[in-house]
Amino acid sequence: MADEPMMPLDESIAGEQVAEVNLPATANPNSPYAWPKERRILSTRVNRIDGPVKVSGRAKYSYDMKRPGMLYGRILRSPHPHARITALDLGPALKMPGVKAAVPIAKVGGKLMYVGDEVAAVAAVTEDQARDAARAIKVEYEILPFLANVEQALQPEAPPVFEGGNVKASQTEEEGSITAGFAAAAHIVEQTYNTQVQTHVSLETHGCMCEWEGEKLTAWVSTQAVHGTREGFATSLGIPQANVRVITEHMGGGFGSKFGPDVQGIACARLAKEAKAPVQLMLDRREEHLAAGNRPSAYAKIKAGVSADGMLTAFEAESWGTGGAGASSGFPLPYIYTFPNRRRVHKDVYINAGQQRAMRAPGHPQGCFITEMLMDELADRVKMDPIEFRIRNLPPQAPNAMWREYFKIGASKFGWDKRHATGDPTPGPIKRGMGCAANRWGGGGRGTQAQCEILPDGGVVVRCGTQDLGVGTRTLIAVIAAETLGLQVKDIKVELGDSNYPFSGGSGGSTTAPAVSPAIRVTVSKVLQELATRVAPAIGVAAADITASGGRVHSKTTPGKGLSWADACKRLQTTPVSVNAGWEPGLSASGSSGVQFAEVSVDIETGIAKVDRILCVQDCGLIVNQLTAESQCIGGMVMGVGYALYEDRILDRNTAMQVNPNMEWYLVPGMSDIPKIDIMLMNQPERGVIGIGEPPTISTAAAIANAVANAIGVRVRSIPLTPQKVLTALEGERAGGTQ
């Protein structure tokens, strides 16, 4: 993978949500719908069109939905990490005040695999009544042996908790000759690195409101995939897809964890059916941490070789990680850099904890952290500057592999020349340091359909069944339609987030912008052609000679001949123009690259690390909206700061219960933790649209961890970089240990 930069995102780690992406790396300039060379609105800074409703609190999320006569749903969850249900009686719950329905989720005889695994659900008039009723459900459990962490699961005498074994080895990845590679090495580094389990912490939790009208279900769902969720409801409930409508007007983040109705969505629909009333079932923060997904941990024991002149020669890794109860933990390794000889064996370790799910660039932050830490250690051995060392060992430059260039321009902008050598720290207790790391991602998409109507009063409505996760998709659609019709962003009415609108895939793998943008460009171009046909006689030129710009519909060859937009639309009289069309190749591509730099201050008396500033150099093909693309970078890096320094799902080793299933002790960055952030977005208009949702989060933690090592002169090979780990590493050095 790493040595074939023109290849798209590797599909093995793309997970459940990412459609197979096999797209070229550049757009087609000869497409009849090619992006305009002169961009009027595209690539500029356009405020989110839903900004005002969001900041004023008027935007309605699934959590905010209210329906007449609605009930509240609540799930009873396993208090045990591993247990068999021997008896389940919903009767006592049904007798509780206000309760209107109760449904089992687990079966008697069935097993529960983690604390938080679903047992049954109830619906009641108030939230408190639903909570009380869930507690009243009578369950008998046979408690079974469990595994609370990776170390326990890897013990030879570990109880056989998972059918087929607690550990599942994957195939060996191998290229070249390890023996020859190590023979060519002048220095060898052998180290173990690891990353923690991180949960998604979407601001809006998972859940929905379900309402039946006879056999038809309407569900307001916090989801990344309205059409996928429609299919999920239909399949799980055994009803036609045509009977399901999923609406997601606004949603508060998913990061890969919200692609279907989920257990709670199906339970909610069943409760609503049984109660004959709308039911809202949203998870609380504890449930969110326990059962709604996480980024798996990663461990790697690595032996790597480098030649005296700083060329990578060999890489041998044994890696493992846990995705919880029976789920995988794969990640790419080595990441990006070219090791001509390599061998890697990976194993998934199962423990009794909530399962992993795709999380913003699944696998990449782990692979990036491990590889980039190793790269700095190898650079130190050959006494080379880390950037010079990286540049030597990167794959060849290509449109989707621009790291060499980005490292150079980023280093200059960041002031990398002021970085002191590791082991030569600044005087005083506050040590400062710099680090860097690279990232890659696919970000191609396809298949979106759309509808555009031009109304006789001049109104333009664009409908698309995609969803706006908060990233700015609504605005992106308006920008493209306005650019194409020669209008302003405010002239476009965008309707999305409804499965009754034309199909669009799930928002995963950074595929939304590259799937939706071409669909809008094609559909709106076609509706303009239709308008041209209808008004050509009035303008007095051939339809093929008509275009729209500057709020006018006019002749291309004799621009003076034309009508204002409003007058042209009036000629439609009573019949609007309406076109359905969709994604076509040539306007989007796959494959992005980026690099990041971090500067940190570490107090060696307290062990507290603080990120002072980060610079990201990132591309995403043609930038549709500079403002929201930068916003993706900011969000990704803030998430990376959390991954580097704070976030950690901590399970009690004796009970397998999470000790921090909240936002008090599961730490995410607060305002004062967020560094100065600089962004250099590299516009590549000739490549077409590429997604940027995921890449900016990949290399932040690696750059920070390398900066901490540079600051304090010892390397902490495990994130989060807690004060305790920092102090222990410093202590080890004082005791005469090596880095």
Name the residue with tokens 């109760």. 102
Residue with smaller CB distance to ligand MOS, 78 or 448: 448
Which phi and psi (to 5°) does residue 253 adopt? 85, 150
Q: Which residue's Cβ has the minimum distance to ligand MOS? A: 256
Q: Which is nearer to ligand MOS, 18 or 290 (CB)?
A: 18
Tell me the backbone φ, ψ of residue 645, rounded to 5 degrees.
-115, -30
Minimum distance from residue 695 beta carbon to ligand MOS (Å): 11
End-to-end CA distance of the chain: 30
Tokens of 583: 């994604």
Q: Which is nearer to ligand MOS, 20 or 128 (CB)?
A: 20
CB closer to ligand MOS, 326 vs 470: 470
Provide, rounded to whole angstroms, the least separation between the CB of residue 513 and ligand MOS: 13
Which residues pair with residue 124 across a beta bridge? 72, 99
User: Helices 364-381 and 700-712, interaxial angle, to 10°?
Assistant: 30
**Nearer residue to ligand MOS within complex by CB, 17 or 467:** 17
Largest CA distance in the chain: 89
Residue closer to ligand MOS, measured from CB, 181 or 365: 365
Given the complex with ligand MOS, which of 469 and 704 has the nearer CB atom? 469
Distance CA 98, CA 126 (A): 7
Rounded least distance, CB 229 to ligand MOS, Å: 14
We find the least distance from the C-beta atom of residue 650 to ligand MOS, in angstroms, to be 23
Torsion of CA 134, 103, 68, 231, to 10 degrees: 130
- Residues contributing to the site for ligand MOS (CB under 6 A): 17-18, 224, 255-256, 358-360, 362, 508-509
CB of 469 to ligand MOS, least distance (A): 8
Residue 145 CB, nearest approach to ligand MOS (Å):
33
Closer to ligand MOS by CB, 256 or 310: give it: 256
Tokens of 86: 């021997």
User: Would you say 15 or 181 has its CB closer to ligand MOS?
Assistant: 15
Beta pairing class for 173-175 and 207-213: unpaired
CB of 441 to ligand MOS, least distance (A): 10
621 Rama sector, left if φ>0, alpha if ψ -120 to 50, beta otherwise: left
Q: Which helix (DSSP H) or strand (DSSP E) does residue 616 occupy?
A: strand 609-619
Say if CB 85 and CB 110 are below 8 A apart: yes
Q: How far apart, in whole angstroms, are the C-alpha atoms of residue 332 and residue 558?
A: 56
Q: Pseudo-torsion of CA 366, 335, 308, 185, nearest 10°?
A: 90
CB of 435 to ligand MOS, least distance (A): 25
Query: Of 199, 201, 200, 205, which is closest to residue 61 (Cα–Cα)?
Result: 205
What is the smallest separation between the CB atom of 471 and ligand MOS, expressed in angstroms? 10
Q: 29: how many CB neighbours lie within 10 A of its CB? A: 11
- Residue number, 136 or 358, with CB nearest to ligand MOS: 358
Closest CA to 387 of 374, 404, 368, 399: 404
> Cβ 660 to ligand MOS, closest distance in Å?
23
